[in-house]
Amino acid sequence: MAERSYRSAAGAAIALRRRQHSASCRELAVRCPRLQLRSLSAVTSAVWLAAYGLFVLTQNSMVLSAAIFITLIGLIIYLHFVKVDQESLLVIGSLGIQVTSSYASGKESTTFIEMGQVKDVVINEAIHMQKVIYYLCILLQDPGDPQGVSEVVPLFQSSKPRLDCLIEVYKSCQEILEQRKTAPQSS
């Protein structure tokens, strides 16, 4: 079990943790930076100052209660649906790949892709919001066409690690994926 720190595409500090459960099973988890207290207080102060300004203009005290309500509801929605705490990839050699996202409120969302559908795990470059970024993705196979790619599943969308971290994850995945070519086909 080893944990190393890297940078995300935007410059935030992220950490990659690698665990080897067995010869054909590996888990790679990327931990995103926590919610900063200073950004939380900055947003809350801005919303509440704006609400106080509106209250001074309109003399309607509902504005203040509405601002408190909006701040609380907005924070809960942000923590539950938007803020990702950790994204992990579990590669099991003969079984499949499991992708898990844990949100800051504790919610976990999991996707499992069975090995028969996985063509390859590659590092792809694409244009994203006026930048070209590297991102890791799983290429899914079209059952009718063994050479074609039917779908692309991007991974680590919230943490967006940079190329050095992606190369580590890529090498770990490829070591497991190579085993399925040398191992005898059991399906």
Partner 1 sequence: ENSPAPLPERAIYGFALFLGSSFGFMLYLIWAYVPETWLFSLGLTYWPQKYWAVALPAYLLVAIGIGYILLFGINMMSTAPLNSTHTVTDNYAKKQQQKKFQEEAIPALRDIPISEVNRMFFLPEK
| Residue 116 binds partner 1 (CB under 8 A) | no
- Measured CA to CA, the distance from residue 157 to residue 100 in angstroms comes to 11
| Residue 173 binds partner 1 (CB under 8 A) | no
Closest CA to 29 of 84, 112, 88: 88
Residue 156 buriedness (CB in 10 A; 0-12 / 13-18 / 19+): buried
| Residue 114 binds partner 1 (CB under 8 A) | no
Span near partner 1 by CB under 8 A; candidates 68-76, 77-85, 106-114, 143-151:
143-151
Answer yes or no: are the C-beta atoms of 85 and 107 closer than 8 Å.
no
- Measured CA to CA, the distance from residue 95 to residue 110 in angstroms comes to 15
Residue from 4, 10, 128, 179 in contact with partner 1 (CB under 8 A): 128
Residue from 13, 50, 82, 152 in contact with partner 1 (CB under 8 A): 152
Span near partner 1 by CB under 8 A; candidates 45-53, 70-78, 102-110, 121-129:
121-129
Span near partner 1 by CB under 8 A; candidates 13-21, 22-30, 73-81, 151-159:
151-159
| Residue 127 binds partner 1 (CB under 8 A) | yes
